[in-house]
Amino acid sequence: MTGYLLRAALVYCLLAAAIGIGTTANAQTLALVGGKAYASPDAVPLDDAVIVTTNGVITAIGSRNEVQIPSDAKVIDCTGKTVVAGFWNSHVHFTQAVWKNAGSAPAAPLQEHMREMLTRWGFTTVWDVGSDPSDTLPLRRRINSGEVLGPDIHTAGSIFPRGGHPAYLPPEMQLPEAATPDEAAQMTRGYLRAGLDGIKLFTGSYKGEDKPVVNMDVAVAKAAVDIAHAQGKPVFAHPQNTAGVEAVIAAGVDVMAHTVARQPGYPPEQLARFKQQGIALTPTLSLFAKLPLPPEIVARIVDNIVGQLKSFSESGGTVLFGTDVGYIQLYDTTLEYELMHRALSERQILASLTTNPAQYFKAAKKGRVEKGFDADVVVLDGDPVADVKNLARVAYTIRAGKVIYQKL
Ligand SMILES: [Zn+2]
């Protein structure tokens, strides 16, 4: 190649990066051929399926003799594999050191970590419920431009109660504490103005084993909820204890970000309010299963929170899959699926990853493998209805018709 051509190629690459050539908007036509497909968690699976995606949208799904494979399609052989909708993790954090200065950091380590933490486990959409927006917003921008392969990121801004700096966060870390309803309202407006998608309240904040939990006043929580809801944005809460759960209910919070290890079960009155108010739950069971405590205490805590998940689901509550990954370093989702399976069926767990969050967060074109839906798809090495652990055996993760993870 001559010097001129080299320079021209370089200019083209820079230009392509600048204007976003090769982004999801230009995703090629894909044909996923020969797998078993679940259009939704409660559907009868379709064997020997063909799924075609064009320009980021599913344009056909049917059996091999019903669907014509376009001649320009990149064919992915799914023989022996199972195709389901792209997964949501509704409780993650982009707080690890690797995300620092995500706006200017080299793309390769960002993408590498994104793969280890999220895309290799099938996640095409995530809710980040607490991070530094000056890292997360540029990270999202670089993913959406196609520069870094990653999921669709929604991000929530955190608000702590006064004196509620949690024991597990570095003491020097500056945290937004709201002492009054006015302060909470102001913080909420600021977050939403900056382009964040929701709010995360610490209605109960853990101060250490020998110290009482600091709870947020209901009036403070409600001020944030009212502003967020007026703008159509959801509110998550870290409840920590019974008073924290009661504040969730009284303030009208949408999603409980954890089960509550310290409260035995959910009493019937709480379960009725969850149902009545449409409160959702991300269980984060493996977070508690990995607590550095004696095994018999951990086993008791896990029995308790599995029981909470079971009663929550049986009373009609919406379960949203969520692990707190990024805060915890356990990236493999197998343990979470196994623990959830003590309370829920395989199909209910698949719903917590797909249709439940799509419906709850009003993403009308996500959560199903159907014509006209976003081409967010996971190809699994086995049928998750036969064995729930197959949900963690991901062969391909496809977001908006573009392969963002492929098992080597
Ligand atoms: Zn968390």
Distance 274 CA to ligand 1 centre (A): 20
Contacts of 136 (CB under 8 A, 6+ apart): 94, 99, 102, 128, 153, 155
Distance 256 CA to ligand 1 centre (A): 11
Name the architecture of domain 87-360. Answer: Alpha-Beta Barrel (3.20)
Cα-based distances in Å from 394 to 120, 123, 326, 379, 380: 6, 10, 20, 6, 5
* Low-confidence stretches of the chain (pLDDT beneath 70): 1-27
Cβ burial 256-291 (10 Å sphere, 16+ → b, else e): bbbbbbebeebeeebbebbeeeebbbbbbbbbbbee
Distance 55 CA to ligand 1 centre (A): 34
pLDDT of residue 160: 98
Cα-based distances in Å from 384 to 226, 262, 337, 339: 40, 32, 10, 15
Strand partners, 250: none
Distance 268 CA to ligand 1 centre (A): 26
Contacts of 67 (CB under 8 A, 6+ apart): 50, 51, 52, 60, 61
pLDDT of residue 27: 60
Distance 257 CA to ligand 1 centre (A): 7
pLDDT of residue 363: 98
Q: Could you say which DSSP state residue 68 is in?
A: P
| Beta strand 235-238 pairing with 198-202 | parallel
Distance 283 CA to ligand 1 centre (A): 11
- The domain spans of the chain are 3-85+368-406, 87-360
User: If you search the block for the tokens 């019937």, which residue do you land on?
Assistant: 268
Pick from 288, 216, 287, 272: which is nearest to 248 by CA? 216
Distance 129 CA to ligand 1 centre (A): 6
**Distance between the two ends of the chain, CA-based, in angstroms?**
32
Is 294 strand, coil or helix?
Answer: coil
Cβ burial 339-348 (10 Å sphere, 16+ → b, else e): bbbebbebbb
Phi, psi of 119 (to 5 degrees): -70, -30
pLDDT of residue 28: 87
Pick from 184, 171, 289, 180: which is nearest to 237 by CA? 184
Give DSSP secondary structure letters for 166-232.
-TTS-TTS---EE-SHHHHHHHHHHHHHTT--EEEEESEE---TTSPPEEPPHHHHHHHHHHHHHTT
Contacts of 233 (CB under 8 A, 6+ apart): 192, 197, 198, 199
The amino acid that residue 258 corresponds to is: H
Distance CA 79, CA 170 (A): 49
CATH topology of domain 3-85+368-406: Urease, subunit C; domain 1 (2.30.40)
Contacts of 8 (CB under 8 A, 6+ apart): none
Distance 24 CA to ligand 1 centre (A): 29
Distance 248 CA to ligand 1 centre (A): 16
pLDDT of residue 14: 41
Distance CA 31, CA 11 (A): 33
Strand partners, 50: 33, 62
Distance CA 105, CA 98 (A): 9
Contacts of 63 (CB under 8 A, 6+ apart): 46, 47, 48, 49, 50
pLDDT of residue 232: 98
Distance 326 CA to ligand 1 centre (A): 8
Distance CA 372, CA 327 (A): 35
Distance CA 351, CA 339 (A): 16
Distance CA 78, CA 66 (A): 17
Distance 238 CA to ligand 1 centre (A): 8
